[in-house]
Amino acid sequence: MTHILLYWNHICVLHRQEKAFLQELAGRLRREDIELEVRFFGLGYPEHMSEYLARPDAVLPDLIVSADLEVFEDRAIFSKMEPELYPAADWVSLRESPALDAVRRGDKLLPAAAIPLVYYTRELGICEQMRLPDWDGLAFGGINNSAVKTVVKVVWETWGREAASGLLDRSFVTDMPIGAFQTVRQGQARTALVPSLYALRADGQSTFLRTPQEGPVLIPSYLCARTSAPEWAARRVAEEILCRELCDFYVSNGDLILFPACTQLHSSQEGERVCCPSAVWLDTLARDDFYGLYCNKLPTATDPIQRIKKQS
């Protein structure tokens, strides 16, 4: 029996169904002599995956599926496993799109899905005129997951560090994306940048879904595999995870953009314009500069590496 350890930190609002899918998958794989062990991270669990992997004593898995982007974008974390990763980006057939072009991260990360962030607003008309860094009073959330960090990185790359700093100064930044959605529902803010799954609840009379002029801000997720597992087994698990059943579920129930070609379903937010930090720019971003700004502007934000140092 070949043992595969999978770390999973994916779509929290759909996690109950994800967990059931993975339990059923483990049963199927046992019939192929693959023992799949899954360890979960994120909302509802003690740690985010990046927080755990930042530890010097962290046990590295065989496979990762994660929308916790610091796993891949924080060099202090990603460098621990990058030399041992298979070139897995082509293990599953992908369908070409502007969104796929935007989220590609070299030959070791296989794009799985992306959460599109769009406007949920009471200000009909203003969203199409407003550039992302120019908002005053915009709500968005997910301080210690990837959502707020990605918005900050998008603005930083496109308009500069000061634009990112200014946006944080002028915004309602909540702990979770659902909190930003609720600020508009409760009248604390007029417009929020939220997952399209939430914005689709707009009634079209007093609340509206509008797409940013730059296109939806994408929060991508990736699969990667370490050479600690036999390639045949890692490939098999990757193919079974990114199957039509799960991909169709994500589109139908989460309005996610899915990259595997096995699904024919499409998010309401797929189009020619999307917004995501580029791989080239991310390679130039100094982590201390990013976290220095981020943690200074957001008192509840944590730098996983500094958190570990304080604990030791």
Instruction: Inform me whether the pLDDT recorded for 296 exceeds 90.
Output: yes
Q: Let me know if residue 52 belongs to a domain.
A: yes
Q: CATH no. for residue 32?
A: 3.40.190.10
Residues with Cβ within 8 Å of residue 182, at least 6 apart in sequence: 174
> 272: how many CB neighbours lie within 10 A of its CB?
8
Q: Let me know if residue 262 belongs to a domain.
A: yes
Distance CA 147, CA 242 (A): 23
Contact 140, 217 (CB under 8 A): no
Instruction: Inform me whether the pLDDT recorded for 179 exceeds 80.
Output: yes
Q: Let me know if residue 40 belongs to a domain.
A: yes
The pLDDT of residue 185 is 96
Query: How far, in whole angstroms, is CA 236 from its chain's centroid?
Result: 24
Helix (H, G, I), strand (E, B) or coil at 165: helix
Q: Let me know if residue 15 belongs to a domain.
A: yes
Residues with Cβ within 8 Å of residue 133, at least 6 apart in sequence: 155, 158, 159, 163, 164, 166, 167
Name the token pair of 309.
């140092």
Residues with Cβ within 8 Å of residue 235, at least 6 apart in sequence: 88, 91, 225
Residues with Cβ within 8 Å of residue 300, at least 6 apart in sequence: 143, 144, 175
pLDDT in tens, 258-288: 999 999 999 999 999 999 999 999 999 999 9
Give residue 96's pLDDT band: very low, low, confident or very high (50, 70, 90).
very high
The proportion of the chain whose per-residue pLDDT surpasses 70, expressed as a percent, equals: 99
In the predicted model, what is the mean pLDDT of residues 149-164?
Answer: 98
The pLDDT of residue 222 is 98
The pLDDT of residue 206 is 95
What is the span of the domain harbouring residue 100?
2-113+219-267
Number of domains in the chain: 1
Instruction: Inform me whether the pLDDT recorded for 239 exceeds 70.
Output: yes
Task: Looking at 31-145, list the stretches that DSSP marks H as alpha helix, in order from N- to C-terminal side.
Answer: 49-53, 70-73, 75-78, 98-103
The pLDDT of residue 182 is 97
**Angle 183-215-17 from CA coordinates, rounded to 5°:** 65
The pLDDT of residue 312 is 60
pLDDT in tens, 28-74: 999 999 999 999 999 889 999 999 999 999 999 999 999 999 999 99
Give residue 108's pLDDT band: very low, low, confident or very high (50, 70, 90).
very high
The proportion of the chain whose per-residue pLDDT surpasses 90, expressed as a percent, equals: 95
DSSP-derived secondary structure letter, 217: E
The pLDDT of residue 128 is 84
Closest CA to 174 of 202, 205, 198: 198
Contact 177, 217 (CB under 8 A): no
Sign (positive/negative) of CA torsion 74, 76, 80, 86?
positive
Instruction: Inform me whether the pLDDT recorded for 224 exceeds 90.
Output: yes
The mean predicted confidence, pLDDT, of the chain is 96
Q: Let me know if residue 43 belongs to a domain.
A: yes
Residue 38 has φ and ψ, to the nearest 5°, of -115, 130
pLDDT in tens, 186-217: 999 999 999 999 999 999 999 999 999 999 99
Q: Let me know if residue 99 belongs to a domain.
A: yes
Q: Let me know if residue 17 belongs to a domain.
A: yes
Distances (CA, A) of 213 to 131, 168, 210, 268, 269: 7, 19, 9, 16, 13
Contact 47, 15 (CB under 8 A): no
The pLDDT of residue 142 is 96
Q: Let me know if residue 161 belongs to a domain.
A: no
pLDDT in tens, 109-148: 999 999 999 999 999 889 988 999 999 999 999 999 999 9
